[in-house]
Amino acid sequence: MITDPGWCRCEAVLAEWLGRAFAAAFGAEAAGLTIRVQPTVDAQFGDFQCNDAMPLAKRIKQSPRVIAEAVIRALPFPDCIEKADVAGPGFINLTVHPAWLAGEVTTLLAAPRCGLPSVGTGQTIILDYSSPNVAKPMHIGHIRSTVIGNALDRMFRALGYTVIADNHLGDWGTQFGILIMGYRTFLDPVRLEQSPIEELERVYVASYNRTKEDPAWIDTCRAELVKLQQGDAANLEIWKRFISLSMSEFERIYARLGVSFDLCRGESYYNDRLAETVALLHTRGLSCESEGAVVVRLEDEGMPVCIVRKSDGGFNYATTDIATVRSRVEEFAPSRIIYVTDERQQLHFRQFFAVCRKLGVTTDLEHVWFGLMRLPEGTFSTRQGNVIRLDALLDEAERRARAIIDASESAMSEAEKRELAAVIGIGAVKYADLSHDPQNMIVFTWEKALALEGNSGPYLQYAYARICSLLDKYADQVPGREPRANALILGDAIEKALALQLMQFPSAVVRAANACKPSILADYLFALSQTYSSFYQRSPVLKAEAAVRDSRVCLCARVADVLREGLGLLGIGTPRRI
Ligand code: ARG
């Protein structure tokens, strides 16, 4: 008998008992069967269910209902079980004692981080995310990569993994020859001062356009690139300038988003390893020549060749990524490397992952891709093309959040309002992104992102703030009493439902992290706040008689703790007052 403990303590305890009950009723016949317990979909079927009578029925050719009946009769109920019955074709439905559940919730949520298990201890994950390109503004793809990557970063760390967040800047490559020439020829120092990335982009475009009219210009750009790659001092100087100007703009955005990295190793960091990587592919007999280029054939995996050296001798994006994996594996021995980018790079990742496997890399390489975000009127774009400036988007979010705050009657100082507008506005943008399965396309609307009702960041922040205000009132009513120290009595069905849902917090985080889908956690938090709101509508808290009031306040405080912790894992702030 194998019992799958899952990530909910209640399920683990029940699975353990059921495991013994199956063994008591069926002995060797049940050997090797995996026993799993999960929450029921509907409280009318009890609190938890187990479906494992079905596989045993197949194995021993008996009716699953008869098996289920025999299992629940095999042993006396432990203290935690109030009721067990068999439903449908042979589901075992279990109802737990409220008093036992109250104890479990209390223990779970008294633990640090609301009881998240340290499942990742001893394992290193490298998270490659954000990774914008130098001298270009971050586009919507980088925003999603930054927001999703950072949520994964926070979740994995909270689960005890050693996370190395690496911002793999696009800071090397053919565009720099064009950019250096553009910088030398077309630069407007005043504009550069005012908005560096825009100006660098402008000079890049000017220089790029000239390549189309003037063949000699292309040659000069190529020559400048070669000089840069060979370490020419003057070109390196300009290149460093591009990086520092870009980084300071990126840093401003990261600061607004509350994002930080452990490493910021751009593509250039691996430059010295490119030739060696191509040579290794050659000595291992993995590469061949094709029309002057060096390629790795991937027909066996149903993919086009992966070019690792171009016919002009230059290395490309894939070469850098292969070299980067080798370097990361040697230096950090990670168990996983996770890359977060938009869907357009899927083939690139599948190709270079395949090459890495041919080289014997055993680290799990995962590409977490996401669809693009769109406005109802079409793509998220400015006049010219497919970029929307992230800082403009965040400004707009803050402006709109500020309008909502101004419209409410709150006696806040100007500084408080400004800070609050940032937390709500940025939280709204992040949540609009994170609450969708990354692989779905998102249609972004301000109305939905900032809605105070419905599945939005502000809705959850507001739910949290309302609980805080309730706790403040309680503190006035019963001074000096810590709500969480009150005895928790789960007196009615909705209180029990809330407690059962609180028990699912660790499981929501583990599932979200394992699947690299922050949306699983967002869904959980939204469902929790909905249950909370029906509880709050139905059950008076501060006006209830003392023991009930104290218990309900304790439950409210626990809901607030989980909302704060969970939103924190999504990188979303929780102001106490809205
Ligand atoms: N700089 C790339 C881009 O903007 C993303 C890099 C993703 N990371 C990687 N190791 N390839 O598209």
Tens-digit pLDDT profile for residues 459-497: 999 999 999 999 999 999 999 999 999 999 999 999 999
Q: Which residues contact 76 (CB under 8 A, 6 or more apart)?
A: none
Are 430 and 535 members of one domain? yes
Do 79 and 217 share a domain, yes or no?
no
279 alpha carbon to ligand 1 midpoint, in Å?
Answer: 24
Is residue 6's pLDDT more than 90? no
Residue 476 is encoded by which pair of tokens?
């006035």
- How far, in Å, is the centroid of ligand 1 from the Cα of 254? 17
3-state secondary structure 322-348: HHHHHHHHHHHCCCEEEEEEEHHHHHH
Written as one string, the DSSP assignment of 488-537 is P---SHHHHHHHHHHHTHHHHHHHHHHTT-HHHHHHHHHHHHHHHHHHHH
Contact 199, 187 (CB under 8 A): yes
Residues with CB under 6 A from ligand 1: 128, 131-133, 168, 170, 321, 339, 341
Checking if the pLDDT of 379 tops 60, the result is no
Q: Tell me how far the alpha carbon of residue 170 is from its chain's centroid.
A: 22
In a domain, 374, yes or no: no
Residue 378's pLDDT is 63
Q: How many CA atoms lie within 13 A of 94 on its CB side?
A: 28
Residues 424 and 511 in one domain: yes
Q: Whose CA is nearest to atom 4 of ligand 1?
A: 132
Closest CA to ligand 1's atom 6: 131
Residue 160 — pLDDT band, cuts 50, 70, 90? Answer: very high
85 and 183 housed in the same domain: no
Burial 74-113 (b: 16+ CB within 10 A, else e): eeeeeebbbebebeeebbbbbbbbbebbbebbbebbeeeb
Share of the chain above pLDDT 90, in %: 85
Q: Which ligand 1 atom is nearest residue 345's CA? A: 12
Residue nearest to ligand 1 atom 5, measured at CA: 131
Pocket test for ligand 1, best of 126, 146, 168 (most atoms within 8 A of CB): 168
Q: What is the pLDDT of residue 60?
A: 95
- pLDDT at residue 388, rounded to an integer: 61
Q: What is the DSSP letter of 115?
A: G
Helix/strand/coil for 295: strand
Decide if pLDDT at 383 tops 50: no
Residue 297 lies in a domain: no
Residues 85 and 213 reside in one and the same domain? no
Confidence of residue 409 (pLDDT cuts 50, 70, 90): confident
| 246 occurs within a structural domain | no
pLDDT band of residue 1 (cuts 50, 70, 90) is confident
Spatial separation of the C-alpha atoms in residues 116 and 80, rounded to whole Å = 22
Looking at residue 305, its amino acid is V
pLDDT tens-place string over residues 111-158: 999 999 999 999 999 999 999 999 988 877 888 999 999 999 999 999
**What mean pLDDT is predicted for residues 21-37?**
95
Instruction: Answer whether residue 106 is part of any domain.
Output: no
Within this chain, do residues 46 and 182 fall inside the same structural domain, yes or no? no
Measured from the CA of 349, which atom of ligand 1 is nearest?
A: 11
* CA end-to-end distance (rounded Å), the chain: 52
pLDDT level of residue 444 (50, 70, 90 thresholds): confident
Ligand 1 atom closest to 169 (CA): 1
- Which of 341, 351, 368, 386 most suits a substitution to test ligand 1, by most atoms within 8 Å of the C-beta? 341
Q: Which of 169, 172, 329, 345 to mutate to test the pocket of ligand 1 (most atoms within 8 A of CB)?
A: 345
Residue 254 placed within a domain? no
Distance 131 CA to ligand 1 centre (A): 5
Task: With respect to residue 309, please indicate whether it lies within any of the assigned structural domains.
Answer: no
Parent domain of 517: 390-569
Q: Given CA atoms 443, 444, 445, 449 in this order, what sign does their dihedral have?
A: positive
Q: What is the pLDDT of residue 387?
A: 52
Please give the average per-residue pLDDT across 74-82, as a whole number. 96
Which atom of ligand 1 approaches the CA of 142 most closely?
4
- Going from the Cα of 168 to the center of ligand 1, the distance in angstroms, rounded, reads 6
432 C-alpha to ligand 1 centroid (Å): 23
Indicate which CATH number applies to the domain containing 65: 3.30.1360.70
Ligand 1: centre distance to CA 342 (Å): 9
Return the CA Rg of the chain.
29
- Whether residue 77 sits in one domain with residue 196: no
Shared domain for 422 and 565, answered yes or no, is: yes
Provide mean pLDDT across the span 169-173.
Answer: 91
Q: Is residue 248 part of a domain?
A: no
For ligand 1, what atom is nearest to the CA of residue 342?
Answer: 12
- Predicted pLDDT at 385: 44
Instruction: Quote the ligand 1 centre to 340 CA distance (angstroms).
Output: 8
Predicted local confidence at residue 377, as pLDDT: 66
Q: If you measure from the C-alpha of residue 351 to the centroid of ligand 1, how many angstroms do you get, rounded to a whole number?
A: 14
Ligand 1 centre to CA of 317 (Å) is 9
CA of 212 to the centre of ligand 1 (A): 27
Give residue 488's identity as a one-letter amino acid code. L
Residues 537 and 411 in one domain: yes
Question: Which of 340-354, 380-394, 497-511, 546-560 comes out lowest in average pLDDT?
Answer: 380-394
Q: Is residue 126 part of a domain?
A: no
Q: Supply the mean pLDDT for the chain.
A: 94
When divided into structural domains, the chain yields a total of 3
Do 432 and 559 reside in the same domain of the chain? Answer: yes
Report the C-alpha gap between 542 and 478 in whole angstroms: 10
CA of 244 to the centre of ligand 1 (A): 19
Q: Are residues 194 and 85 in the same domain?
A: no
Give the whole-angstrom CA distance, residue 554 versus residue 489: 9
At 351, which helix (H) or strand (E)? helix 346-358
Distance between CA atoms of residues 318 and 333, nearest Å: 21
Question: What is the Å distance from ligand 1's center to 305 Cα?
Answer: 20
Spatial contact of 427 and 572, defined as CB atoms under 8 Å apart: yes
For residue 454, give the CATH number of its domain: 1.10.730.10
Whether 558 and 447 share a structural domain:
yes
Reduce the DSSP state of residue 128 to 3 states and report it.
strand
357 contact partners, CB below 8 Å, separation of at least 6: none
Residue bearing the bigger pLDDT, 41 or 156: 156
Q: Is the pLDDT of residue 380 over 60?
A: no
Residue 407 CA neighbour count, 13 Å, CB half? 6
CA 493 to CA 449: how far, in whole Å?
32
**Measured from the CA of 340, which atom of ligand 1 is nearest?**
7
Boundary of a domain, candidates 199, 230, 261: 230
Nearest C-alpha neighbor of 92 from the set 29, 27, 34, 36: 36
For atom 1 of ligand 1, the residue with the nearest CA is 170
Mutate to test the pocket of ligand 1, among 128, 129, 131 (most ligand atoms within 8 A of CB): 131
pLDDT tens-digit series, residues 325-367: 999 999 999 999 999 999 999 999 999 999 999 999 999 999 9
pLDDT (tens digit per residue) in 286-297 = 999 999 999 999
Indicate the SS3 state at residue 93.
strand
